[in-house]
Amino acid sequence: MLLATLLPISVPLPAAAADIGARIAGLAQPPPATTAFHERRESPLLATALAFSGELQRPVAGELLKVVSWPYVERTQIAGGRVTVEREGQPRRRFSLSRAPELQALTASFEAILSGDLALLQKHYRLQMDGVESSWRLVLTPLDARLARRVKALTLHASGTQLRCIDLSLAGDESSRMWLGEIASAAQASDDPAQRDALCAPAANGVDAAR
């Protein structure tokens, strides 16, 4: 899906593409791929959300890179069940993906979506889709109880074969939204929450952002 945003060339959709499988397959994108992102993270600890931007990269299947370039520089690699965080002026930090279930969930679903693998998604999540072809939404709810305690839901916002936003809703009222591709810079530039929300659902026809 990250890759889908790389190729925003509109592909004609099959006439009756209402089923989830076809929509997911439409998001598939082979590596290597790169896309811009803007992310806003909210937490009960924070008076205002943290905002940052950069690039997501998937050089090969099974490896994801998150490179933050604004407002500071940080590079995170997720590969082989390990997370490596490098930040300017600090020692590299590594930890196991199994210690961060939400990250694991995110990574696994990315991989499944990018390879258009509906079966793999269904193995780990309950899927629920709504919206229309031009603005649709897929809510993934973890099936695994341990994961479900930390991750409430993962929501994909897409338009046709273009993935636009990913929402992550975590336990303890932590949450984040990521704008992908060409809308990332617009999201970073905007101060208006409603305007930012609209970027995820361009049709803006009353799709409720909350699950």
Partner 1 sequence: MSAPRRAVGTGLWLLLLALGGLWAASALTVSGDLRRFMPAPQTDDQRLLLQQIGEGPGARLLLLALTGGTPDALAERSQALRDALLDAPELVWVGNGDDGLDAVPDRLLDYRYLLSPGPTQGSLDAQPLRQALQQRLQDMASPAAALIAPLVARDPTLETLKLLDAWTPTTEPARHAGVWVAKDQRQALLLAQTRAPGFDPQGQQAALARLRDAHAAVVAELAADAEPGESAAEAQLEISGPGAFAERMAAQTRGEATQLGVLAGVGLLLLLLLAYRSISLPLYAALPLASGAIAGLALTTALFGEIHGITLAFGFTLLGVAQDYPVHLLSQRRPGLENRAAARAIWPTLATGAGSSCLAYLIFLFAGVDALRQLAAFTIAGLAVAAGTTRYALPLVLPTARADAANGWLAGALQRGLLTRRLPRWPALLLAAGCATVFVAGSTPWWDDDLGALTPVPTDLLQRDRALRAELGAPDVRWLLVLRAASDEQVLQRSEALQPALDQLVQQGKLESVDYAARYLPSMQRQRERQALLPAPALLAERLRLALTGLPFKPTAFDGFLAAVEHARQLPPLTPADLAETPLQLRVATLLQADPQAPPERRALGLLTVSGVQQAQALADWAAAQPDVSLLDMKATAQSLAAAWRVRVLTAMAVAALLLTLVVRVALGRWRRALRVLLPVALGSACVLAALQLLGIPLTLFHLVSLVLAAGLGVDYALFFERAGGAAAEQRRTLHALLICAASTLLVFGLLALSQIPVLRAIGLTVALGVIAHLLLSLWLATSPTAPEGQS
Q: Which residues contact partner 1 by CB under 8 A?
A: 39, 41, 43-48, 50, 52, 66, 68, 72, 74, 76, 78, 80-83, 85, 87, 93-96, 98-103, 150, 172, 174
* Residue 107 or 161 having the CB closest to partner 1: 107
* Residue 86 or 182 having the CB closest to partner 1: 86
Which residue from 10, 59, 38 is spatially nearest to 199, judged by alpha carbons? 38
- The least distance separating partner 1 from the CB of residue 56, rounded to whole angstroms, comes to 11
Residues 129, 20: contact at Cβ < 8 Å?
yes
- The least distance separating partner 1 from the CB of residue 148, rounded to whole angstroms, comes to 15
- The least distance separating partner 1 from the CB of residue 28, rounded to whole angstroms, comes to 16
Output the CA torsion 93→46→142→123 (10° steps): -40
Burial class (CB in 10 A: 0-12, 13-18, 19+), 22: middle
* Residue 11 or 61 having the CB closest to partner 1: 61
* Residue 16 or 47 having the CB closest to partner 1: 47
Residues 66, 76: contact at Cβ < 8 Å?
yes
